[in-house]
Amino acid sequence: AFSAVGGLGVVVHLAVLAVAFKGFGEGFVAAQILATVVAMTFNYVVNNSLTYRDRRLRGWRFVTGWLSFSLACSVGAFANVGIAAYLFDRQTFWVLSALSGVLVGAVWNYAVTSVYTWRQQS
């Protein structure tokens, strides 16, 4: 389920990136950062509702869960934007640059958030 949500998150990421970068003429790095934050938030909300519904976070825990998820994903997000920017600067097509960054970030995000954000409560 986490992978399916991640796949939808990639679609969200690319849609936001396309609108910001191509539609509004925002710089690639700024658009990649925006797309990363929007996709990260989308993934958190959907994973909280579906993937981890048995450990669903509600109320204040929903907010603190989003903060912990964002913090846990920040290393992956940093790698995502860094790799995408590096490839884009070297004339790689913007979609391939973005997808390369997303792939690297996704590996980290899955490993950390599945344990950290939705850990079993004792």
pLDDT tens across 1-26, in order? 767 888 999 999 999 999 999 999 99
The pLDDT of 85-112, averaged and rounded, is 91
> 82, 75, 60: which is closest to 108 by C-alpha?
75
Q: Which has the higher per-residue pLDDT, 2 or 82?
A: 82
Name the percent of the chain lying above pLDDT 90.
Answer: 68
Residues near 27 by beta carbon (within 8 Å), at least 6 away in sequence: 21
Q: Name the pLDDT band for 110 (thresholds 50, 70, 90).
A: confident
Q: Is the Cβ–Cβ distance between 104 and 73 less than 8 Å?
A: no
Q: What is the mean pLDDT of the chain?
A: 90
- Output the six-digit token pair for 108: 């980290």
State the pTM of this model.
Answer: 0.86
